[in-house]
Chain A
Amino acid sequence: MTLWSRVRSWVRAVLRRSRMESEMDAELRFHVEAFAEDLVRSGVPREDALRRARIEFGGVERAKEECRDARGANSIDSLVQDLRFGLRMLRKNPGFTAVAVLTLALGMGANAAIFTVINAVMLRALPVEHPEQLVTVGDPARVHSWGTGTPRIDLFSYPLYHEIRDNNEVFSSLLASSNLGDVPIEMEGGAETARGRLVTENYFQTLGVEALLGRTFTIDDGHTPGSDPVMVISCGYWQRRFSGDASIIGRRVRLNNYPFTIIGVAPAAFFGEVVGDRPDLWAPMMMQPQLMPGRNFLESVNDAALLLIGRLKPDVTIEQARTNVNAVVRQALLVTLNAKLSSDDRRAIQNMQIAAEVTPGGRGLSRVRQQFSAPLLLLMAMVILVLLVACANVANLLLARSAARQREIAVRMAMGAGPARIVRQLLTESVLVALLGGALGLVLANWFSAVLVRLANANPRTGSPLVLGLDWRVLGFTGGICLLAAVVFGVAPAVRFLHVKPSFALKESGRGAGSGPKSGLRRVLISSQIALGVLVLMTASLLVRSLRNLQEVDLGYSRDQLLLVRVDILQSGYKGAAIQNITRELLDRLSALPGVRRATASSNGLFSGDESSDAILVDGVDYSARQSNGNVTADDEVGPNYFSTIGVPIVLGREITQQDFLTAAHVAVVNEAFAKFYFGDRDPIGHQISIQDSDHPNQPPYEIVGVAHDVHDHSVRDAVRRRMYAPLTSAAFDDLGAYNFEVRAIGNPQALISSLRRAIHDMNPDLVFGDIQTANELVSDTLTSQALVAELSSFFGVLVLLLVCVGLYGSMAYHVATRTREIGVRVALGAPRKGLIWMVTRETCRELAIGATLGIVFTISAAQLFKAMLFGLSQTDPFSMGTAIVALAFVCLVAAIVPAHRAMRVDPMAALRHE
């Protein structure tokens, strides 16, 4: 009963505030007047009566306040009051407000942006049904990979997938997907390429995704290979390419020259199972032989291209799934599929540890995640530091400003405000600034995260942009930071006031003290800002210099004027011996082009993502002391004059000549690592290498004819592997039928690109080839994440410098202003100007020293965490240290001296009168 009446009374109080106020006023007035009347009746003169009544009643305002309290409407009232007052204060100081809000907005915006990207890449679940029930089998980072050779368990072959699907006990359904890449698509509008993904027929059903239009694949869409040429397109592709035309269902197109029918459109939010990819279409895996002619992998146990995602049955844990999957895989590889394997493979499987990766799949597969996880986290740490600096800035500004408000606070306390109320009012102002900064920050965040993603995707080949979005996590995160910021820099000045006695403050003429608790806090804030600034700047410097080192690393060959292009001859329709013929002809044509110094080809290319290796036996080598992998080497099949075209010096012997190429000679060139490993100081020339491959038994051995300089051919940072090079025409390693052509240009390589393209097209318009890129571009692509981190950290470094400068300047200006009278006295007494400037800036120097030292210590210890990203220098790199310290010192001194200098110019008389 009372609860209801309380609520009613409270609501009434809030809604009809002004009427309540006037009523209360009238009531109390009536009381006092009635009392006065009684006094008059008892003989007190009229003028005195009213005065005595008032005195006896006591404080009317206080009584009113307590009445309001009793109503329970007080908290809302005072909150509204605080807000109004806070807004008014902010409006009266536009300069301070602008600086504070902008500072916070930059800090919070950067944080929200990085967190948005982190959310999209690392945290967010797929937009599918119950993602927490999904499980990934295989290595989720290998989304664009294809392996040929011994059966693998980080990627799966189709027959192995089949076995797992049919024999497991833990999944209610299991899908497989693999990369389709850019596939030529022909429709009425013309021919172009679209990006696709190959998926099994239960894909959409397993994920729980319904079509937006038409239908998705059903289990019937996969009877036999080639039986159902249907495809589902993405909503984005539908809008972009078909303008959302509803008649798209049933339309026929040609995918890689094979007729397909579009049967459905996926929902707008769905982008597949790979984070960082946005395929335009999904095609059934049963159509793989048609889409990749010559590379049918549905029957092959040696071609592994699939990643699997399964939905767990209810009450099945992931550990149970892992055990069961591995048991099924073991059974499949050792028993069921064993007959299809070569003896080599069988042996390899016996020795292999069957431990397939089974991990929670709710967040989908992603190569981007693996590449960018560490850089993103590092950037997040840096941005948090920037935010802390921003907060310290604003705290300092508030602290400085509060000196002027001391009298106002004292008056409030005298009028009856409790310290809690005062602190609450100051906190409200801080929260207001924080909220304004946060709102502006969210706007900045949107823009900034788009820029981030565009930077990370500098090369459009590496995948379409991420699906960013402001979901509750981002908003919650930003809100949390806002609040934290508000508390951090609101509490600092507020706490001070609890110590000040009102009478003391009222008497004081507002002359700030040079030392004491206020000054101490201010100095701590400045020192910490400087320390954080050093941390950010030094980290940025380390990362930028690492990037520079990586970019300038000697890869072992000459990068300039080198163009590379991958031609997929098998996919273009050639088979068997025709492939070799085409290769030879193409090489001749390319070499003959004007502007081309030399042309050659190789199986694995440079920084192309292709790699191969084989088991070998080298004669004259003692194997008893070798480790188990001592008989595996990386290999490559190359065209004539490969080494001179690439620019790799031959250290011993000769390279592979045109003669070797044309006669398919069984010769080989090895690299220095190979020679050292197998022969030490001995001469390897003349020794024989035999390939141990039971698929191609009884091959003649290769004679070593030369030793080449070591080359970084796939990664700038990784160690160089042992490698042997054999002529393209003679080698019978597992042949993919796609070769990378390397062309050394005379002069500017960019000018050659179109003539290269024309030459290939002229040879055969059906030849499928990828983008033509320079070696430099390919190398830079692998350094994308490093470049991103370096760029952004330098941006943050500059931002931090700016923040420290502004903060220090503002703080210094106020500080000097409070000492104006003291300075005036000293100048009047004849103190030299220089000495005064030193006196004022002396503290700054001390703070600089402390801050810089702390900052360096922090950086060196923190660098342990991102040591993996450094290259070619140590954490204690003196150049980086020096840069950071010099930059901050310069900024600090400028920020400190300018206000001090201005104060010196003030007329001493005016200063003395200043209050």
Chain B
Amino acid sequence: MDKQMELLQGTLDMLILKAVSLGPLHGYGVLLRNQQISKDRLEIQQGSLYPALYRLEHQGWITSEWGESENKRKAKYYQLTAAGKRKLQTEAEKWNRMAELIEGILGTTAEEV
């Protein structure tokens, strides 16, 4: 159970960072954008969204600012920092390398061993 949560946390962070990298967003907006870019195939749990946002802010990858939403209501907007941008890049590279590695292992045929 624990291990899965860990993976999920890492992925969640990446998804949030990616969503925010495309432009400042409030929490709900992150949810919507993620739905959009994953074409509704990946869902972020609402309950774990805000803890993740707070954690990312605590670690310095994103910053927050109060602003006005589309319907003139006060909302907190999150934005990627320079460090956050680098972090996103690093995470993406790691993810790709991992994917390659797994792919390589899974693609090994009997003769290659």
CB contacts under 8 Å to A, within B40-61, are 45-48, 50-52, 54-55, 57-60
CB contacts under 8 Å to B, within A55-107, are 56-59, 62-63, 66-67, 69-72
How far is B51's CA from A27's CA once the two chains are assembled, in angstroms?
A: 12
A26 contacts the other chain (Cβ, under 8 Å)? yes
Binds B, one of A30-38, A262-270, A477-485, A592-600: A30-38
B73 contacts the other chain (Cβ, under 8 Å)? yes
Contacts of A31 in B (CB 8 A): 26-28, 46, 50
How far is B59's CA from A6's CA once the two chains are assembled, in angstroms?
A: 6
B39 contacts the other chain (Cβ, under 8 Å)? no
Known contacts A5-B58, A34-B28: does B47 contact A69 (CB below 8 Å)? no
How far is B31's CA from A28's CA once the two chains are assembled, in angstroms?
A: 13
B28 touches A30 (CB 8 A): yes
Contacts of A59 in B (CB 8 A): 47
A2 contacts the other chain (Cβ, under 8 Å)? yes
**How far in angstroms is the closest Cβ of chain A from B81?**
9
Interface membership of chain B positions 50-82, coded 1 if the CB is closer than 8 angstroms to chain A and 0 otherwise: 111011011110000010010101111000000
Query: Chain A residues in contact with chain B, CB under 8 A?
Result: 1-2, 4-6, 9-10, 23, 26-28, 30-31, 33-35, 37, 56-59, 62-63, 66-67, 69-72
B83 contacts the other chain (Cβ, under 8 Å)? yes
Contacts of A1 in B (CB 8 A): 60, 83
- The listed residue (B55, B69, B83) touching A70 by CB distance below 8 A is B55
Name B26's closest neighbour in chain A (CB-CB): A30
Interface membership of chain B positions 72-97, coded 1 if the CB is closer than 8 angstroms to chain A and 0 otherwise: 01111000000100000000000000
**How far in angstroms is the closest Cβ of chain A from B96?**
23
Known contacts A35-B28, A67-B54: does B59 contact A30 (CB below 8 Å)? no
Contacts of A63 in B (CB 8 A): 47, 50-51
How far is B69's CA from A28's CA once the two chains are assembled, in angstroms?
A: 14
How far is B9's CA from A66's CA once the two chains are assembled, in angstroms?
A: 14
A6 touches B58 (CB 8 A): yes
B51 touches A66 (CB 8 A): yes
How far is B107's CA from A621's CA once the two chains are assembled, in angstroms?
A: 114
**How far in angstroms is the closest Cβ of chain B from A620?**
99
Contacts of B60 in A (CB 8 A): 1-2, 4-6, 9
A71 touches B58 (CB 8 A): yes
- The listed residue (A26, A37, A67) touching B51 by CB distance below 8 A is A67
Closest 5 CB pairs of A and B: A5-B60, A58-B47, A66-B51, A70-B55, A70-B54
B76 touches A23 (CB 8 A): yes
A2 touches B54 (CB 8 A): no
**How far in angstroms is the closest Cβ of chain A from B113?**
43
Contacts of B50 in A (CB 8 A): 27-28, 31, 63, 66-67
Contacts of A2 in B (CB 8 A): 59-60, 83
- The listed residue (B27, B58, B73, B75) touching A72 by CB distance below 8 A is B58
How many residues of B are counted as interface, with CB atoms below 8 angstroms from the partner's CB atoms? 24
How far is B72's CA from A37's CA once the two chains are assembled, in angstroms?
A: 14
**How far in angstroms is the closest Cβ of chain B from A182?**
74
Name B32's closest neighbour in chain A (CB-CB): A38
How far is B50's CA from A67's CA once the two chains are assembled, in angstroms?
A: 7
B69 touches A30 (CB 8 A): yes
Name B83's closest neighbour in chain A (CB-CB): A1
How far is B71's CA from A4's CA once the two chains are assembled, in angstroms?
A: 36
B54 touches A71 (CB 8 A): yes
How far is B69's CA from A864's CA once the two chains are assembled, in angstroms?
A: 83
* Residue of A26, A34, A67 most packed against chain B (CB within 10 A): A34
Contacts of A69 in B (CB 8 A): 51
Give me 8 other A-B pairs in contact (C-beta within 8 A), A9-B60, A35-B28 excluded: A5-B58, A10-B58, A26-B74, A27-B50, A30-B69, A34-B28, A56-B46, A63-B51
A70 touches B58 (CB 8 A): yes
B59 touches A27 (CB 8 A): no
- The listed residue (B46, B55, B58, B76) touching A27 by CB distance below 8 A is B76
Contacts of A66 in B (CB 8 A): 48, 50-51
How far is B81's CA from A1's CA once the two chains are assembled, in angstroms?
A: 12
**How far in angstroms is the closest Cβ of chain A from B41?**
19
**How far in angstroms is the closest Cβ of chain B from A857?**
51
19 contacts between A and B (CB under 8 A): A5-B58, A5-B59, A6-B58, A9-B60, A26-B74, A27-B50, A30-B27, A30-B28, A31-B50, A33-B73, A34-B69, A66-B48, A66-B50, A66-B51, A67-B50, A70-B51, A70-B55, A70-B58, A72-B58
Name B73's closest neighbour in chain A (CB-CB): A30
How far is B65's CA from A23's CA once the two chains are assembled, in angstroms?
A: 11
**How far in angstroms is the closest Cβ of chain A from B66?**
8
